[in-house]
Amino acid sequence: MNHALRRVSLVCLAMFLLLLVNANYVQGFEAGKLADGPGNGRTFALQYQYQRGSIVTSDNVTVAESKHIGGVYSYQRSYPAGSTYAPVTGYDSPYNKTGIEGAEDKLLAGADPRLAVRNLIDLVTGKPRKGATVQLTVNSVAQQAAYKALKATGLPGGAVAIDPKTGGILALASYPSFNPNKLATLNGNALNQADKKYLNSPQQPLLNRAINETFPPGSTFKIVTSSAAFSSGKYTPDSRYYAPTNLKLPGTTHELINFDNSPCNDGSNPTGTGKVPLIFAFTVSCNTVFGGLGQHLGGANPDYTAYSAIGQYNDTVTPLQEAMFAAAIANHGTLMHPYLVQKVIAPNLSTLVVTVPSRLSRTVSPAVAGQVSRMMADVVAQPYGTAHSMVANLGGITVAGKTGTAQNGANNTGLDDAVFTGFAPVANPRIAVGVVVKGGGLGADASAPVAAAIIKAYMNYLNSSPKR
């Protein structure tokens, strides 16, 4: 009997020790995880007892803030401009955070270790905890122009504007968009309805087309092909290159043609059997010239290289990457790291974080960038350039750019996507843009006007602001 009791006692002791070890492990190593878990009702309620920090633009327009509402929860998130800034701010819902709300959550919530001393002082002095303010690189004028112009097309699309000298993102817009206020509600039923509506919408309003959807770049990729050609040292913008009306692709029965199957004719090539300067071919966007140039430069099977050289086949980019094309050329071949957060300011107005611009890569030499810039300027300035029509909407601002009309879908049966990338002013670039309008047709018809609206709005802001 004593032997059996001893065994039971040992088992009970072992179980007690396991429980003790588990309790200490949870408190020592799992406390943070459990505290931050979505099922923690105390943490859930606590996050709405403190005022979350605001999100503001570079020109100090508030685009996200916490408003005092009283009741069980003291504060609720509010987005004054709603859908215009939704791709940037994201949303702060009771169960999820996206965009800047998610990326800078700890600073906005006041839970970042860099705010620990500030929080301790507030605790001692009886002040409520408050989150830090996140200031974006986004300019409110450029952002509003981007969203308004995209919305006016009535088609899905994305637009991004960058400061080519720093990499700071001046605008990042997507259409269709969503109203983040609907997802910030503290009413569970209303939240579920809004969430279901957005998730099931065929328009996909939650998809950030500026950075999360890729499109064929079309003829804007001729910027890359030209850069490769000039970097080889064998070509200049004035080099004459074979310009057939139809370019036969080796190993296939396919032929590459120009728009409307017309010859690439600068006046010296009416039959499509001669040569034209590369700058002319770029300005009027001759596919056969750049397809042939791509074949000669190499890199893959010649037939597929010809398609890739004009931004077709399997080439894909985001509107952000389109803007980076132009930004690199505008900045003499140096591509800067794109960034959205300019600085973070503590509740006592001290600066916690300042983003220092940094170089991402040296894409081409300054000489090559200058050559490509010269060709991009002609695309807009020359009467025969594919983007010359945008001049009327620029108010005298000089722009260097490249249009693209990208075929897509199985056997190119989808509606053409309209693409544009460019920078302004030509002599002293302050803004680079990338625009894609899905199903917009010709780049000059749908995307170039969007780019013109963004450029004009931002340059007018710079010229009218005493701080600039």
Residue positions annotated with a catalytic role: 219
For the record, the structure tokens of 53 come out as 């920090």
310 and 104 in contact (C-beta within 8 Å)? no
388 and 401 in contact (C-beta within 8 Å)? no
How many residues are there in the chain? 468
At residue 157, what is the residue type?
G
128 and 400 in contact (C-beta within 8 Å)? no
Calpha distance 54→384 (Å, rounded): 48
How many C-beta neighbours within 10 Å does residue 218 have? 30
DSSP character for 266?
A: S
Calpha distance 63→90 (Å, rounded): 11
Is residue 299 helix, strand or coil?
Answer: coil
For the record, the structure tokens of 217 come out as 């770049």
Closest among 243, 254, 235 to 290, alpha carbons compared: 243
Calpha distance 458→164 (Å, rounded): 14
Closest among 410, 220, 411, 224 to 299, alpha carbons compared: 224
For the record, the structure tokens of 419 come out as 């693409």
DSSP 58-69: TT--EEEEEEE-
375 and 385 in contact (C-beta within 8 Å)? no
Q: Please provide residue 453's backbone torsions phi and psi, each rounded to the nearest 5 degrees.
A: -65, -40
